[in-house]
Amino acid sequence: MASIADTGTLPRAAEFRTCPDTGLKIDLAAEKLIRWNAVVAVVFLAIGGFFGLLVALTRWPAVHLLPAEWFYLALTAHGADVLLFWVIFFEIAILYFASAVLLNSRLAAPRIAWLGFWLMLAGALLANVAVLQGESSVMFTSYVPMQAAPHFYLGLILFAVGALVAVAVFFGTLVIAKDEGTYEGSVPLVTFGAIAAAVIAVFTITSGAIILIPTFFWSVGIISHIDPVMYKVVWWGMGHSSQQINVSAHVAVWYAIAAMVLGAKPLSEKVSRFAFLMYILFLQIAAAHHLLVEPGISSEWKIFNTSYALYLAVLGSLIHGLSVPGAIEAAQRRRGFTKGVFEWLRKAPWGNPAFSGMFLSLVMFGFLGGISGVVLGSEQINLILHNTMYVPGHFHGTVVAGTTLAFMAITYLVVPLIFRREIMFKKVAQWQPYVFGLGVAGISLFMMGAGTLGVSRRHWDITFSDAPVAFDYPGTAFLMMGLNGVFGVLAALGGLMYIVVVVWSVFFGERRTEEKARSEPLLPQDGAAAVATYGSEGTLKLPGTITLVAVFFVAFVLYYFVNWKFLSEVWPLS
Amino acid sequence: MAIHPPEKRIWWNEPLERSEVTWITIAFIWGLVMFFTMVFWHFTGEQNLSNEAYRIHPETFAERTEAMADQYTVREEGDTGIPVVHPPPGSDVYMLARLWEWWPILELEEGKDYRLHLSSMDWQHGFSLQPENINIQVHPGYELVLTLTPEGVGEYWVVCNEFCGIGHHQMVGKIYVVEAK
Ligand code: HEM
Ligand SMILES: [Cu+2]
Ligand SMILES: [Cu+2]
């Protein structure tokens, strides 16, 4: 079969199975890695989600669940477990899927991939231990000069190195697939999106190492001083760019689900790939989003960096915002749902949680996370939003409503295809994206509302009951925080539904046999083909998508200028 | 259907969909509008964060703040006796952040300009002026100097909105705005 691959490892006699649902050739070693990374991801989501619930209940003024010390501990654990460990473990599973599985290739160096897995797991556990011991409640951002226990930083470093190893295996697999000619022409669009995510990951993890390694030495006393502004600049080189890994990955997931469930093809390959390319070229910057009100950084740098060089990366997302629903509309119209403007949308498979989760993720990422992100990241507007609840409101719109919901949605395909198990509790699964989506929409909106009224993020007591100077936020702010609590419970319930369905299906689910695959196909005939091939849909009339995009654009423009109006009303400063 | 052959190998030569081209153009122009709005605001807007900042030793900053307080304290407030300082309009005023207080309380005159100096003695803190909702990051070792013009007579509070340890939620300072004399 193969010659010695470029990675220098000996070709291994890979064992394959042929997927009865998609016809793809699946390397069993890759399959096992995908399973384990996904399972561990879900475990961290469960732990982190539980901490999220505790945090939301504490910030609900009428409940105020945890004592202060526990609150800051829980908030640190929540941030690390969901934002780093859940999301990145799942992304590694996606990388292996998009390379080995979609390209019909063997995985490069599975042993090294396992090494990466164990490093990540050890690092994640170590960081959790450090946080739970109580000496590392520094928030996952760990801004210096506040100091955590050394093994907190060490855990994050091990995790990052493990992730870097996994990314290397992904690139190695691409090389092998090309060498061994497992596919013809260019890689499928979904793989292309995964490549964008992986390239950004290399930049990101490197920044993380550059800052966390000296910070670790500082925590054990070898280095005496770390500059707090410099720390933030480099830390956010990791922190913000890593959000762009999430965006690339979940956009790839949107295309994958649209392709698998509906046989949707991108309107034009060229445009969609160009949009991913914009991510690769411009998303590395944008550390400035987090530095807009720091001392000692020039406005020129802030403006250039926060706008990703003239908003070219935002342009990438805006393009996907048309091409993903456009691809769905085109596929539906091809199926004959051509009545009126929206028949294609009404008759979409809303009972299929893979589809409903994907579509809700798309809409909420745009309307909640996307618009608020651009507003928050405008240099001067940041003055009226920085470090308020608006910030977590914004990113629960991106990384929870967007990324997390998209990853949940694709799980409903991964379980039957990769774990070869039927989805159990079908009714619960059907409702899950709606419950979780509604909950997350609520927390995102109400946190943003509270932030607009000034409420501080990462804050245990907004009544300031034992502060020497008495102060109260306005009554509406308390209402917002209460509603945030209510919707937080709903989001947690949606998360629990997901965990129960997935765990039950994976461990106790009915096996998906070949007969079953034949008698009850998971994907429409054109679905399986669409995800592994490429080619453009071509010209079609898409009145529905155009209407949706127009509504989005008007909302965006209005909301953007409203915030400049708000800014213009505060005390002049220069 | 084992391996799906690509449908059109030469995808990069396909014509573009018209609705896509239109949207890309609109979105690109919108990006330019948003970019230049930020630039434009530096010339016409009244709310821009100053770029004036210095490296400073926390002790030096504390000395300057105390010197101001010694000279212009008008009264003391609260159980801890925090000084309320009324410096002359147009002057340099200082507020320091430390675990877990903003010191001292300032009394400023409406409509007058002040050069406000901010720095931290220990960890990072967040200057969050309420209910105006102006938020500025405060670092140890850096002194940020900005010109501020209070509007509206009344009481204002400075909440700390950067997590700074277990007393973070007790860290509240105060600014009074009084009528100009
Ligand atoms: C059960 C669902 C969830 C609930 C109820 C929830 C709720 C919250 C709340 C109330 C905060 C605190 C804001 C503050 O006090 O500053 C928070 C912070 C945060 N959440 Fe969530 N969240 C959930 C899921 C998630 C998920 C899935 C992610 C990531 C994928 C996430 C990422 C974060 C991050 C990064 C923070 C900031 C932590 C920090 O300030 O250090 N959350 N969440
Ligand atoms: Cu503070
Ligand atoms: Cu604080």
d(CA A432, CA A38): 18
> Are B91 and B113 found together in one domain?
yes
pLDDT for residue A8: 45
pLDDT for residue B8: 61
> Are B23 and B58 found together in one domain?
no
**What domain range includes position A267?**
22-514+534-568
Q: What is the pLDDT of residues A42-71, one digit of tens each?
A: 999 999 999 999 999 999 999 999 999 999
Residue B5 has pLDDT above 60, yes or no: no
Q: Which residues of A touch B175 (CB under 8 A)?
A: none
Q: Is the dihedral of CA A435, A441, A444, A445 positive or negative?
A: negative
In a domain, B2, yes or no: no
A346: which residues sit within 8 A by CB, 6+ positions away? Answer: none
Residue A489 has pLDDT above 90, yes or no: yes
In a domain, A116, yes or no: yes
Q: Which residues of A touch B26 (CB under 8 A)?
A: 553
The fraction of chain B above a pLDDT of 90, given in percent, is 84
User: Are the C-beta atoms of residues B138 and B127 closer than 8 Å to each other?
Assistant: yes
* Residue A269: band (very low, low, confident or very high) from pLDDT cuts 50, 70, 90: confident
Q: Give the total number of structural domains in chain B.
A: 2
pLDDT for residue A310: 72
Measured in angstroms, the CA of B75 and the nearest CA of chain A are apart by 15
> Are B30 and B109 found together in one domain?
no
pLDDT for residue A11: 57
In a domain, A2, yes or no: no
In a domain, A39, yes or no: yes
Stretch among A207-216, A461-470, B14-23, B85-94 having the lowest mean pLDDT: B14-23
Helix (H, G, I), strand (E, B) or coil at A188: coil
Closest C-alpha to A301, from A201, A373, A229? A229
In a domain, B1, yes or no: no
Closest C-alpha to B133, from A427, A383, A58? A383
Sheet holding B172-178: strands in order across?
A: B73-77, B82-85, B105-109, B172-178, B154-160, B125-130, B134-138
A374: which residues sit within 8 A by CB, 6+ positions away? Answer: A311, A314, A556, A560, B34
Residue A7 has pLDDT above 90, yes or no: no
> Are B92 and B138 found together in one domain?
yes
In a domain, B7, yes or no: no
Expressed in angstroms and rounded, the spacing between residue A81 Cα and the centre of ligand 3 is 23
Residue A10 has pLDDT above 60, yes or no: no
Residue A136 has pLDDT above 60, yes or no: yes
Check which CATH number belongs to the domain holding A313 and give it.
Answer: 1.20.210.10
* Mean of the per-residue pLDDT values of chain A: 91
Q: What is the pLDDT of residues B56-105, one digit of tens each?
A: 999 999 999 999 999 999 999 988 889 999 999 999 999 999 999 999 99
> Are B79 and B166 found together in one domain?
yes
A332: which residues sit within 8 A by CB, 6+ positions away? Answer: A262, A343, A344, A345, A347, A348
Residue B6 has pLDDT above 50, yes or no: no
d(CA A399, CA A444): 11
The fraction of chain A above a pLDDT of 70, given in percent, is 94
pLDDT for residue B7: 59
- The residue length of chain A stands at 574
Q: What is the pLDDT of residues A518-551, one digit of tens each?
A: 888 887 766 555 555 555 666 568 899 999 999 9
Q: Is the Cβ pair B136, A383 closer than 8 Å?
A: yes
In a domain, B8, yes or no: no
Cβ count near A442 (within 10 Å): 20
Q: Decide: residue B70, CB within 10 A, 0-12 exposed, 13-18 middle, 19+ buried.
A: exposed
Report whether residue A458 contacts ligand 1, using a CB cutoff of 6 Å.
yes
Q: What is the mean pLDDT of residues A416-425?
A: 93
pLDDT for residue A207: 84
Q: Which residues of B touch A315 (CB under 8 A)?
A: 24, 27-28, 31
User: Are the C-beta atoms of residues A481 and A472 closer than 8 Å to each other?
Assistant: no
In a domain, B24, yes or no: yes
Helix (H, G, I), strand (E, B) or coil at B134: strand
Which position has the token pair 């987090």?
A290
In a domain, A9, yes or no: no
pLDDT for residue A5: 42
A contact test, residue of B46, B108, B146 with most A CBs within 10 A: B46
Report whether residue A83 contacts ligand 1, using a CB cutoff of 6 Å.
yes
Which comes out higher in pLDDT, residue A200 or A5?
Answer: A200
Report whether residue A42 contacts ligand 1, using a CB cutoff of 6 Å.
no
In a domain, B4, yes or no: no
Which value, in Å, is the radius of gyration of the alpha carbons in chain B?
Answer: 25
Closest C-alpha to A281, from A203, A206, A207? A203
d(CA A234, CA A227): 11
- How many CA atoms are closer than 13 Å to the CA of A49, on its beta-carbon side? 25
> Are B115 and B77 found together in one domain?
yes
Is any Cβ of chain B less than 8 angstroms from the Cβ of A293? yes
| Top mean-pLDDT range of A219-233, A311-325, A473-487 | A473-487
d(CA A532, CA A23): 10
Which comes out higher in pLDDT, residue A15 or A357?
Answer: A357
Residue A468 has pLDDT above 90, yes or no: no
pLDDT for residue A1: 35
Expressed in angstroms and rounded, the spacing between residue B139 Cα and the centre of ligand 1 is 25
> Are B112 and B38 found together in one domain?
no
Measured N-to-C along each axis, helices A353-364 and A426-452 cross at an angle, to the nearest 10 degrees, of 10
User: Are the C-beta atoms of residues A238 and A272 closer than 8 Å to each other?
Assistant: no
d(CA A433, CA A497): 9
A contact test, residue of B120, B170, B174 with most A CBs within 10 A: B170
Q: What is the pLDDT of residues A145-188, one digit of tens each?
A: 999 999 999 999 999 999 999 999 999 999 999 999 888 888 88
* Residue A2: band (very low, low, confident or very high) from pLDDT cuts 50, 70, 90: very low
> Are B82 and B126 found together in one domain?
yes
Identify the residue whose C-alpha is closest to ligand 1 atom 33.
Answer: A79
CA-A494 nearest atom, ligand 1:
1
Report whether residue A73 contacts ligand 1, using a CB cutoff of 6 Å.
no
In a domain, B83, yes or no: yes
Strand partners, B85: B73, B106
Measured in angstroms, the CA of B86 and the nearest CA of chain A are apart by 18
pLDDT for residue A304: 84
> Are B59 and B120 found together in one domain?
yes
Q: What is the mean pLDDT of residues A347-370?
A: 97
Q: Which of the listed residues A400, A405, A407, A461 should we mutate to test ligand 1's pocket, taking the one with most ligand atoms within 8 A of CB?
A: A400
The fraction of chain A above a pLDDT of 90, given in percent, is 72
**What domain range includes position B39?**
14-44
State which residue of chain B sits closest to A138, comparing Cα positions.
Answer: B165
Strand B73-77 with B82-85, pairing: antiparallel
Helix (H, G, I), strand (E, B) or coil at A373: helix
The token pair at A69 is 């010390």
In a domain, B170, yes or no: yes
Q: What is the mean pLDDT of residues A331-355?
A: 93
Q: Is the Cβ pair B49, A383 closer than 8 Å?
A: yes
> Are B85 and B154 found together in one domain?
yes
Check which CATH number belongs to the domain holding B169 and give it.
Answer: 2.60.40.420
* Residue B20: band (very low, low, confident or very high) from pLDDT cuts 50, 70, 90: confident
Q: Is the dihedral of CA A96, A102, A103, A106 positive or negative?
A: positive
Residue B174 has pLDDT above 50, yes or no: yes
| Model ipTM over 0.90 | yes
Which value, in Å, is the radius of gyration of the alpha carbons in chain A?
Answer: 23
Q: What is the mean pLDDT of residues B121-141?
A: 96
- Distance in angstroms between the alpha carbons of the first and the last residue of chain A: 68
State which residue of chain A sits closest to B153, comparing Cα positions.
Answer: A571
Report whether residue A443 contacts ligand 1, using a CB cutoff of 6 Å.
yes
> Are B96 and B146 found together in one domain?
yes
In a domain, A12, yes or no: no
Sheet holding B142-148: strands in order across?
A: B53-55, B142-148, B114-120, B92-98, B101-103
* Residue B4: band (very low, low, confident or very high) from pLDDT cuts 50, 70, 90: very low
Q: Give the total number of structural domains in chain A.
A: 1
Greatest distance between any 2 Cα atoms in chain B: 86
> Are B60 and B39 found together in one domain?
no
